[in-house]
Amino acid sequence: MTPQLMLIIALGGGLTLMVLVALLWPSSGSADVKKRLDRVGGNAPVKSLKENTSNLRRQTSDSAIPAFDRIIKATLPNPEKLRQRLARTGKNITLGEYLAVNGVAIIVFYLIYTYMMHWSTPVAFFMGIATGLYLPHMITGRMGRKRIMKFLSTFPEAIDTICRGLRSGLPITETIATVGQELPDPVGIEFSRISDGVRMGRALEEAMWEVAPRLDTPEYRFFIIALAIQRETGGNLAETLGNLSELLRKRRQLKAKIRAMSSEARASAMIIGSLPFLMFALLMAVNSEYIMILLNETRGKILLGGGLTWLSMGVLVMKQMINFEI
């Protein structure tokens, strides 16, 4: 084994470990629940004003390294949007950790393209940047979408719980606190944050809008708007929320019906999209010298790039054809 290959393997293992630690580390939701229970039971220690102020400063920091934190705030054009994207994952991922993973991924893929695939330095450099930026972006996006889907699967039950509490005479703030205590995450933790915000003196609508960027779903915005309109115009809030719950269930049923009807098209797209890669792997196993022309020769690289470009465009078109907005 050559030293270059050992270096690539070591960096790849380090990148994998960093991604697992950064993205799969347990969220702070369970710790927040334990702190609230300790405060209710009187077991939590009383913190000084100076310590609370330092904690607030740390929460606004994007990195534990002050110089890196200043660079992030000075160079990124819209860091708040990226923070919201990371918050949707439900994990405690700071902006500095995310950028560090991007940097390590760029270096690793550049070494892979240079020493294992023997690409030229400019091509390996730009492809390393593209792959190193896209991979963490894709992983965090998938984690956020998975969390939102989990939220939507339980959200109608949360609204039904609020309706039952309102019909029994409880105020809306108490029913929201009940939802935070009884329903599983992510619905439980987000409604607990709303309840904590109201207890700290915020208005209910303001506390709910603070949670909206972490969820980024129209169903939750429907819920906030329904509460705001009912507060201004009056009426039976339980009946309004009951109608909203029924509407959300019908939207979920319609999405499931569309997914079932488009399953054949999605399967065809997956098969057509995977065929070139399967054929590449088979030819590599049967006659590697024949297929390596695509990776070593200039004309082969041009053909390979053109083929991947057209394949990506075809997959994108098929994805848009079976993607319906409700």
Sign of torsion over alpha carbons 190, 194, 200, 202? positive
3-state SS assignment for residue 235: coil
* pLDDT level of residue 251 (50, 70, 90 thresholds): confident
Query: Could you give the dihedral angle defined by the CA atoms of residues 77, 80, 81 and 83, in that order, rounded to the nearest 10 degrees?
Result: 120
* pLDDT level of residue 297 (50, 70, 90 thresholds): confident
In a domain, residue 204? The reply is: yes
Question: Of 96, 111, 143, which one is at a domain's C-terminal end?
Answer: 143
Q: Is the model more confident about 73 or about 231?
A: 231
Question: Of 233, 260, 287, which one is at a domain's C-terminal end?
Answer: 260
Percent of the chain residues topping a pLDDT of 90: 25
Q: Please tell me whether residues 112 and 55 are part of one structural domain.
A: yes
In a domain, residue 171? The reply is: yes
In a domain, residue 44? The reply is: no
Q: Please tell me whether residues 21 and 71 are part of one structural domain.
A: yes
Q: Please tell me whether residues 129 and 21 are part of one structural domain.
A: yes
Which pLDDT value is given to residue 101? 92
Question: Of 143, 162, 194, which one is at a domain's C-terminal end?
Answer: 143
Q: Please tell me whether residues 58 and 92 are part of one structural domain.
A: yes
Q: Please tell me whether residues 16 and 133 are part of one structural domain.
A: yes
Amino acid identity for residue 109 in this structure: F
Q: Please tell me whether residues 288 and 191 are part of one structural domain.
A: no
When pLDDT is averaged across residues 177-189 and rounded to a whole number, the result is 90
**Model confidence at 3: pLDDT above 60:** no
Amino acid identity for residue 161 in this structure: T
Q: Please tell me whether residues 12 and 74 are part of one structural domain.
A: yes
Residue 70 domain boundaries: 3-25+49-143
Which pLDDT value is given to residue 269? 79
Which pLDDT value is given to residue 29? 43
In a domain, residue 164? The reply is: yes
Q: Quickly list H helices, the chain.
A: 3-24, 29-41, 49-59, 66-75, 79-87, 95-111, 121-167, 172-182, 187-199, 204-215, 218-233, 237-261, 263-286, 288-291, 293-296, 298-321
Q: Please tell me whether residues 16 and 101 are part of one structural domain.
A: yes
Query: Does pTM surpass 0.75?
Result: no
**CB-CB contact of 99 with 90 (8 Å):** no
Number of separate domains in the chain: 3
In a domain, residue 114? The reply is: yes
Q: Please tell me whether residues 154 and 80 are part of one structural domain.
A: no
In a domain, residue 35? The reply is: no
In a domain, residue 31? The reply is: no
In a domain, residue 42? The reply is: no
State pLDDT tens for residues 7-57.
555 555 555 555 544 444 444 444 444 544 444 344 444 333 334 334 434
When pLDDT is averaged across residues 279-291 and rounded to a whole number, the result is 87
We report the CATH number of the domain holding residue 230 as 1.20.81
Q: Please tell me whether residues 155 and 248 are part of one structural domain.
A: yes
Q: Please tell me whether residues 316 and 292 are part of one structural domain.
A: yes
Q: Please tell me whether residues 278 and 315 are part of one structural domain.
A: yes
